[in-house]
Homo-oligomer: A and B are copies of this chain.
Amino acid sequence: MNEVRAVRRPRRTKPHRPNELFAAAAAEFAAKGFAATRIADVAQRVGLRSRGSVYRHFDSKEAMFQAVVVKTMAPHVEALRARSIAPTSSLAVLLRGVVRPMAEIAVNSALGGVLKMVIAEAHNFPELSRIWYRELLGPILEVITAAIIRAQAEGEVRQGDPHAFALQAIAPLITLLIWRETFVPAGAPEHDVEAVLAQGVEAFLGGVLISQPAAAPAGWEPCGLAGD
């Protein structure tokens, strides 16, 4: 029957740090999306036995969601900004120096799930996509675009819209993140993110640089499907 409720509960052995709660929320939101995630799910995941306890740490479900999106993004913003802040490097150096850490981040962090959430809730949480564009995507594109403009001015890069080139340079990363979050669970083959991106950078440079691109540094070999 469905009446059995009572019995006394043993105290939890260790306290719930806010960080655990945060991680739980991130995992739930990334998996199910905002609306389909219930406060009870998050509570249960950290071992809290009542939904009410969650409100010790967050004012509302929406605040929780925003915090998850923003704070998950934050450390990577710093990392990428630090790496791309040397705006004088050549396009090849820049891309090779930016793409690999991005690939690592993409593989090891929850950024993919967060990007998915940003896309999904762009209408309901416009602030989030604004932040993502302003803090993350915009700056990256700007640095690349600037490098391309410089290279075009020096005759190293073919004519063409530099913004379009920059977007093209970034596109495989974004596509791979979505691929992994959306289509791999649906049966699509998984890719070795770092390998695909490395190959992509080289091909991109080959298609954009007028002279022969400098030989790729050691460690940038061609790649294959993950699992090869």
Contacts and interface: CB of A to CB of B under 8 A. Distances in A.
Interface in A177-214: 178-179, 181-183, 185-189, 191, 195-196, 199-200, 202-208
A18 B3 CA distance: 8
A182 B2 contact: no
Given A163-B189, A174-B174, A175-B175, A33 B123 contact: yes
A133 B187 contact: yes
Chain A binding surface, main DSSP class: helix
Interface string A63-88: 10001001100000000000000000
A154 interface: no
28 contacts: A1-B36, A1-B63, A2-B32, A2-B36, A2-B59, A3-B57, A3-B58, A3-B61, A33-B33, A33-B120, A34-B35, A36-B123, A119-B181, A119-B182, A122-B182, A129-B182, A130-B187, A132-B183, A132-B186, A133-B186, A134-B187, A137-B188, A158-B203, A159-B222, A161-B224, A161-B225, A206-B206, A206-B207
